Amino acid sequence: MKKILIGILGMLILVGGIAVDANAIDPLGPTISGYVKDLAQNGIPGVKMNGLPENPTTGSDGYYSATVPSNWTGIVKPQKIGYAIFPFSTEYVTITSNQTQNYTAVLLPKVALSMQPGTYNLNGPINITMTLQNQGSDFFSVQGFMATNFALFLQFYDPDNKLITSNYGVGRTPPPPAVAHIETAPDKVELLPVDYVEKVLPGWVLSMSFNVRDFYTLTTEGNYTVKAKINMRAYLPSDVNETQTNPPSGIFYALHDLGSSGDAESNVVSFALSTQTNQTITVTTEPPTSAVYPSSFGVAATASSGLLVSIAASGACSGSGSAGSASINMTSGTGTCLITFDQPGNSNSTYNPAPQVTRWVSAQKANQTITFGPLVDKTLGSPPFTVSATASSGLAVSFSVLSGPATIFGNTVTITGVGTVTIRGSQDGNANWNPATPVDQSFSVTQAQKADQTITFAPLTNKFYGDPPFAVSATASSGLPVSFSVFSGPATISGTTVTITGVGTVTIRASQAGNANWNPAPNVDRSFQVLYAFTGFFSPVDNPPTVNAAKGGQAVPVKWRLTDANGVGISDPGSFAGLTSYQANCTQWGGITDPIPEEASGASGLQYLGSGNWQYNWKTSKGYAGTCRVMVLTLKDGSQHTADFKFK
């Protein structure tokens, strides 16, 4: 045993590069110093030199130095998280002189744990993936030391955060390996074959997945945490007896604990256990990344449990389904359509609710077109007219005069001159529709030839003197308004209202002067009589058809009464225009001779008797004897009143 130890110490001195100066004796105590460098000879700062007094650390250049008491004995173990440092340790025995020991630091692989997040069934699989990535060094052989094994250990913590085991892990042997294995010290259990490269190269990546339940039984519901650390095992060169049951002291070291390294978050995973099984949703019919309003599309999804997936849409779309499929309708041309896929589990608690799956669809405005038909040509003076157009979106189309002699208000066009008019139809769009391409339509406006027009003016009925004002009316075939005037007679007119001012014949003229499109209409005159109210002849003269008997040469008193329309007697002597007679056939009373003026008898003449009563003493001729005559009383209003006489 002593011989072996001496051999080992000699090998440590040879391999580790310890330099001992037997003559360099420090009266205050010897100094132990040296450098810690990487394979490129760059100094590694911050390496803790455990075992030396006060455990000093290396400086920025990797240098360390410590003074120890004379005859000092101890073991120095350099350490820095994330590095394997060779040699792993240096043992000093009763040293009395200065010692120099240099070390080589190799960057260890990174380790990361990953698993599907969620809740796992107590009886189902729990898969964890472990990935190691070398950072550029072949750390299996450094300065003559051969790393014969490294292992990734998993530490399980129960829902009460108590460590379940610290000796559970997955490891591998340097190439050429046969299998990976689980270490549950002191036994080794084969896990599964793993294909490795024949030579471990800088930058290699090792990824392994395993089912926790193949190696460990977890029976308690709750949240579990898994952490990882890596260990390195190394032995001295091959001249050391590697077959011995217990390798020399200090040769096996735990080199790296990732649980306390800068990679801590990447090598810690958590999961929960329950009596339910997790399930996942897979979208089998994907929606488009964008969709145009108001289009529709279908989506579908399945759950790993076989349960039906419910689908809902919101935002710029609508639609739903409870049997794993749905038709989604775009309800807006702006914004985003959110589609959610859910499976809430089942009533018998076999499956947990599945993590919700979402899809987003960008809403796009739809294009639209305008339908605007041709416009017919117009003539100057044409009345205002309307235009119309439609948009495929159903939105209202607006109009404007792009050019030409016209104005527009709403959709009503008013012509203002001669030329070409272009009307533009526009639709500016909205949240769902893009603006439409404007559509222009043109028409020509020419100077019109005037058209003829006529006036329709109905006959007017006679009136009595004293009747109230009355209205007249007429129309022009052009539709233009007709104006009126008193052409002749005792009346005045204002607008269409006629006022009687006397008796006689009144003529009203209807006129239409025309305009830019219509020639003046021929005037139309309508006449009516303004009469006295004649109550007939009084005794001794009878009114027709009675034949009065008279003696030729004798005077006949002719009496009558005149009033206005209101029964007021007419006292104006001018109301009498004259008395005439003509010889008539005594049977048919047709005229035989022309009328002749008659005279009054003596100085009696025309007499006013009051209250509109008048008397005229008709002086008959002796020559009338044996004849029949018709007496005619003519009034100022132009009316004539007759009485039949038979003379003897």
Q: Rounded to an integer, what distance in angstroms lies between the CA atom of residue 496 and that of residue 509?
A: 11
- Is the fold of 281-364 the same as that of 533-647? yes
* Residue partners of 273: CB distance under 8 A and separation at least 6: 119, 120, 121, 122, 126, 218, 220, 221, 222, 224
SS3 (DSSP) at 575: helix
* Tokens at 3, concatenated: 């011989």
Q: Rounded to an integer, what distance in angstroms lies between the CA atom of residue 646 and that of residue 552?
A: 9
- State which H helix or E strand residue 2 sits in: helix 2-16
Domain range summary for the chain, segments of one domain joined by +: 2-107, 110-274, 281-364, 370-442, 455-531, 533-647
pLDDT greater than 50 at residue 190:
no
At 27 the pLDDT is 57
Mean pLDDT of the chain: 81
At 359 the pLDDT is 97
The whole-angstrom distance between residue 441's C-alpha and the CA centroid of its chain comes to: 30
pLDDT greater than 70 at residue 154:
no
Which of these ranges, 229-233, 382-386, 599-603, has the smallest mean pLDDT?
Answer: 229-233
The fold of 455-531 is Immunoglobulin-like (2.60.40)
Residue with tokens 């390294």: 261
Mean pLDDT of 559-584: 94
Higher confidence at residue 524 or residue 26?
Answer: 524
pLDDT greater than 50 at residue 294:
yes
Tell whether domain 281-364 is in CATH 2.60.40.
Answer: yes
Q: How many residues appear in the chain? A: 648
**2-107 sits in which CATH class?**
mainly beta
Q: pLDDT over 70 for what percent of the chain?
A: 76
At 20 the pLDDT is 43
DSSP bridge pairs for 371:
390
pLDDT greater than 80 at residue 137:
no
What is the phi/psi pair of residue 644, to 5°? -100, 135
Q: Rounded to an integer, what distance in angstroms lies between the CA atom of residue 317 and that of residue 329?
A: 5
pLDDT greater than 50 at residue 170:
no
Domain 110-274 maps to which CATH number in 3.80.30.20, 2.60.40.10, 3.30.2350.10, 3.30.420.10? 2.60.40.10
Mean pLDDT of 59-79: 95
Mean pLDDT of 258-275: 60
Predicted confidence band at 389 (pLDDT cuts at 50, 70, 90)? very high
At 165 the pLDDT is 56
Q: How far is CA 177 from CA 52, 171, 243, in A?
A: 39, 11, 19
At 250 the pLDDT is 33
Q: Rounded to an integer, what distance in angstroms lies between the CA atom of residue 162 and that of residue 164?
A: 6
Predicted confidence band at 296 (pLDDT cuts at 50, 70, 90)? very high
Higher confidence at residue 111 or residue 26?
Answer: 111
* Tokens at 527, concatenated: 């006449």
284-290 own/partner pairs: CB under 8 Å, 24+ apart: 285/325, 286/359, 287/328, 287/337, 287/339, 287/359, 287/361, 288/361, 289/361, 289/362, 290/361, 290/362, 290/363, 290/364
At 229 the pLDDT is 61
SS3 (DSSP) at 54: coil
pLDDT greater than 90 at residue 571:
yes
Predicted confidence band at 537 (pLDDT cuts at 50, 70, 90)? very high
Residue with tokens 């009338």: 624
Predicted confidence band at 223 (pLDDT cuts at 50, 70, 90)? confident
At 390 the pLDDT is 97
Tens digits of residue pLDDT in 105-131: 877 667 677 887 777 777 677 887 777
Q: Rounded to an integer, what distance in angstroms lies between the CA atom of residue 459 and that of residue 474?
A: 10
Going across the sheet that includes 406-409, the strands are 385-386, 412-415, 406-409
Domain 533-647 maps to which CATH number in 1.10.3720.10, 2.60.40.10, 1.10.1060.10, 3.40.190.10? 2.60.40.10
Predicted confidence band at 248 (pLDDT cuts at 50, 70, 90)? very low
pLDDT greater than 50 at residue 72:
yes
Residue with tokens 């041709």: 374
Predicted confidence band at 39 (pLDDT cuts at 50, 70, 90)? confident
